Structure 1
Amino acid sequence: MNGSDVGASKMVLFPRGFAQPVFSNGPKMAFVLEGTGTAGIVVPNGNGVLNERVVRISEADVIAVPSGVVTWWFNDNRDTHLAIVFLGQQRLVNFYLAGPRGVFKGFSAEVVSTSLQLGEAVAALLDSQTTHGGIVKLGPELNMPQPNIINRDGLVFNSFTAVLGEGDSSGDAFFLNSTNLPLLNEVGWGASIIQLGSGCIYPPTYACATKFQIILVFSGSGNVEVVGPNGDSIINAAVEKGHLFIVPDTSVLSATAGHIGLSWLSIFNSPTPRFLTLAGRGSVLKSLSQAVVQAAFNVTPPMERMIRFPGQSH
């Protein structure tokens, strides 16, 4: 992701792995790439009082995490791992509440004891106990909070549920917004979920009113092509689940699904991106007049019809 201010990281939690409470100086998106587990998200309720909402998370879940929102993650499985991808600013800074890098480590014993309402001796003991890092393995004796299905409402959106039963066999498109994922308002980003059927194509498309789009493949496989403003091929590569790449605002994207289809999540730095489809149904080529297309491509009228209306008998 050189040349952009976008960054990504991947966290893998092994069985009973616990990622300690943390908040960041900027917004980020979390995507569950593989596995299941639980997460805690501390957000204000309707009265502005902070409330920990514990949720069950599973593969293809999307979670918007605004700046300053504390989260923790836990793999409660015995024999499978939990993989989560985080997308955000390239120089995102994390603040841990506990551990050797925890913010309380830097404050004086007086500040810690007063703010936590502890004696200085107890505060010093607490400081000496925080020796483990940001991810730890918890023993079976510690019972972590149980998730509530109601807590998912407005916090978590599953990408698989967005595409089931919509569109036709060629593919589906679904846009995340403040209605189905309210925290996107605070993050200030937009997102879409694209699913292509076997062998189907995502026609060359330009994302308007956004500096970039981050694409994370979460199911299937296929081939993607990204072309720059001078017709230069920037990317022409096979992709599969777990692959991540960025499409800047100076490029046009197209993709072709493999035999098992292709699905991806796109993240935009604008809550309301627009899309200009260059070819196919609803494209700009179909909107242009016959003479303009004929002159631009320097083709005969029959060829012009083939360009504007592919797949039709002429």
Structure 2
Amino acid sequence: MPCNFGCSCQIRRARCHSPLQGSSLQFLALSFLTLFSGCLAVQRGQQFQQGMGQCSLTNLNPLEPMRRLEYEGGYSEFWDSNNEQLRCAGVAVTRHVIGSRGLLLPSFNNAPTMVFVIQGNGILGVMDPGCPETYQSVGQIQGQQSEQGQQRFRDQHQKIHQLYRGDVIALPTGVAHWCHNEGNQDLVLVVVHHTANLENQLDENLRRFFIAGNPQQQQRQGTYQGQQQPGQQRHQGVNIFQAFDAQILAQAFQVDQETVRKLQNENDNRGSIIRVRDEFRIVSPRREQQFQEQQQGGGYYMNEKANGFEETICSLRFRENLANPERADIYTANGGSIAALNSLNLPILRVLRLSAGRGLLRPAAMVAPHWNINAHSISYIARGNARVQIVGNSNRPVFDGEVREGQLLIVPQNFAHFKQAGNQGCEWFTVKTNDQARTSPLVGKTSVIRAMPEEVLINAYQLSREEARRIKYNRQEVTILSPQYSESQQRGVEIPMSVV
């Protein structure tokens, strides 16, 4: 049954000339359900492909935030959601800078989210619906009487997660969360929302829904770099309680309307990041875990003990620290390291259909030229700088230049590129739009060049046999290349006897 994708898919009513048996009805219903689901998936896929087909990929550039909103307890910076590169990759990006004792108010959004902790430490709360309150304070539950006849109360809430520099956090679509900076330095979070994900059933715009605060008033006071685009404020969100009838909310919560007005925060001018006035008292286990500063790059890593609920879906792990030196998947002593995160080592990414990674290069070291087989990549430069060259299927690079700390760089699927660190080295975090993203290097031990027979190289590139062997075997590293060898070192590379 064909679907008309110019409008929503229609399931045509079947006309039956004779009564259908129960099994036939079940089969027909199942067929319609399968067809309808397929129509929706194909429709969204075609819409996304049409959007990608309209993208101009002849020129790429590093991106800076275009908008900044100041709040009482910090500020947020937003990359231009109308930028062609971001729209082609199907992402929206935000950077939150939460000051000491700052609290990022609870909110949720319409797209799967990856969060990178660039600096500082804090705590994160994720309110997963239907999950139990596994953190409880000492005391009696409301309504129970103590021996003195007085009521005592204890707080109960869902699990609290410690955040450290180098953490990567995966947040599913529509799950509410908040964050508090409990350190003395700013807590810096870079947040990538995958708006093109099939989990997003709304539209291609990022839509944030706040459960507290009055962010709409702060949006009117935002500062912009360059010209503001129409509708740019529209999707930053408001407090969802404000639109509800106050009397209905009072009945739902069984509180008075004065308390409801406080929930609605209509006269609250503090913004989306507020400053905690008094001691921030939450229920949390003693921090017996040991963490230490990473010597290269100042990152943190820690070993966490089990809390006894690892097998339940409500305790599904969604955080991983990629700054732990032992977490590196690729390591070159004089070059640096890369740590990858996908649905095989962080299962929640299978739901988000995303993967992530962190790279660290020493000065002048290089990530070998390669391409992403099945994903776009969105990289945030956390520290240092690097020269990057990106090439497509034309005879000139689509980008050849420097990327610096605080910039965003998007590399489309199948576009080959390399990254070479500057004098200060380079650290970056990457989101890829596939939960099992794969790369194919052009240089090194696992490269396509290394996988070719000598005869193919000789004839394809008109090389001598010695040149072909040097191209294949001069680099023995995997992905990360040490600073360039001298010519004498290159001539002295020993060719494996098994291939001579």
Matched, 1:138 2:138: no
**Alpha-carbon distance in 2 for matches of 1:265, 1:142:** 33
Q: Secondary structure at the match of 2:124?
A: strand
In the TM superposition, what whole-angstrom CA distance separates every residue of 1:71-119 from its partner, at most 9, and x where no partner exists? 11122234x2111110113522111011222101011123312222223
**Alpha-carbon distance in 1 for matches of 2:244, 2:391:** 51
- Change in Cα spacing, 1:301 to 1:103, as seen in structure 2 (3 Å) is same
**Alpha-carbon distance in 2 for matches of 1:207, 1:33:** 24
Give the % identical residues: 24
Count of matched residue positions in the alignment of Structure 1 and Structure 2: 309
TM-score when scaled to structure 1? 0.86
Instruction: Specify which of 373, 381, 404 is matched with residue 208 of structure 1.
Output: 373
Matched, 1:2 2:84: yes
Matched, 1:103 2:240: yes
Matched, 1:24 2:112: no
Partner of 2:71: none
Instruction: Specify which of 187, 193, 199 is matched with residue 88 of structure 1.
Output: 193
**Alpha-carbon distance in 1 for matches of 2:326, 2:388:** 20
In the TM superposition, what whole-angstrom CA distance separates every residue of 1:160-186 from its partner, at most 9, and x where no partner exists? 115567633133332213454343232
**Alpha-carbon distance in 2 for matches of 1:286, 1:274:** 18
Letter in 1 for 2:162: R
Larger radius of gyration: 2
Q: Secondary structure at the match of 1:67?
A: coil
Matched, 1:37 2:151: no
Contact 1:163–1:195, Cα closer than 8 Å, also in 2: no
**Alpha-carbon distance in 2 for matches of 1:83, 1:127:** 28
**Alpha-carbon distance in 2 for matches of 1:69, 1:255:** 35
List alignment gaps of at least 5 residues for structure 1. Answer: none
Partner of 1:157: 320
Q: Secondary structure at the match of 1:194?
A: strand
List alignment gaps of at least 5 residues for structure 2. Answer: 1-82, 134-156, 196-204, 215-237, 288-303, 308-314, 475-489, 496-500
- Quote the offset at 1:235 in angstroms: 2.3
Matched, 1:195 2:360: yes
Partner of 1:218: 382
- Quote the offset at 1:125 in angstroms: 5.4
In the TM superposition, what whole-angstrom CA distance separates every residue of 1:286-307 from its partner, at most 9, and x where no partner exists? 1112232222223333322232
- Change in Cα spacing, 1:260 to 1:62, as seen in structure 2 (3 Å) is same
**Alpha-carbon distance in 1 for matches of 2:263, 2:172:** 29
In the TM superposition, what whole-angstrom CA distance separates every residue of 1:197-236 from its partner, at most 9, and x where no partner exists? 44322111111112x1111233443322211122421222
- Quote the offset at 1:242 in angstroms: 3.1
- Change in Cα spacing, 1:247 to 1:128, as seen in structure 2 (3 Å) is closer
Matched, 1:286 2:286: no
Q: Secondary structure at the match of 2:323?
A: helix
- Provide the alpha-carbon RMSD of the alignment: 2.7
In the TM superposition, what whole-angstrom CA distance separates every residue of 1:220-273 from its partner, at most 9, and x where no partner exists? 433222111224212223334433211111411211233554332221111111
Instruction: Specify which of 402, 409, 429 is matched with residue 238 of structure 1.
Output: 402
Letter in 1 for 2:116: F
- Quote the offset at 1:27 in angstroms: 0.7
Structure having the higher strand fraction is 1
**Alpha-carbon distance in 1 for matches of 2:367, 2:378:** 16
- Change in Cα spacing, 1:116 to 1:186, as seen in structure 2 (3 Å) is farther
Letter in 1 for 2:431: I
Q: Which has the higher contact order (CA 8 A, sep 6+)?
A: 1
Partner of 1:186: 351
Partner of 1:271: 435
**Alpha-carbon distance in 2 for matches of 1:102, 1:268:** 31
Q: Secondary structure at the match of 1:160?
A: coil
**Alpha-carbon distance in 2 for matches of 1:117, 1:182:** 40
Letter in 1 for 2:282: P
Contact 2:328–2:338, Cα closer than 8 Å, also in 1: no
- Change in Cα spacing, 1:308 to 1:201, as seen in structure 2 (3 Å) is same
Contact 2:122–2:162, Cα closer than 8 Å, also in 1: yes
**Alpha-carbon distance in 1 for matches of 2:92, 2:328:** 33
Contact 1:163–1:173, Cα closer than 8 Å, also in 2: no
**Alpha-carbon distance in 2 for matches of 1:20, 1:144:** 16
Instruction: Specify which of 237, 251, 270 is matched with residue 415 of structure 2.
Output: 251
In the TM superposition, what whole-angstrom CA distance separates every residue of 1:114-162 from its partner, at most 9, and x where no partner exists? 22222345424543666232121221x2424265456898232112115
Instruction: Specify which of 66, 83, 90 is matched with residue 172 of structure 2.
Output: 66
**Alpha-carbon distance in 1 for matches of 2:381, 2:439:** 19
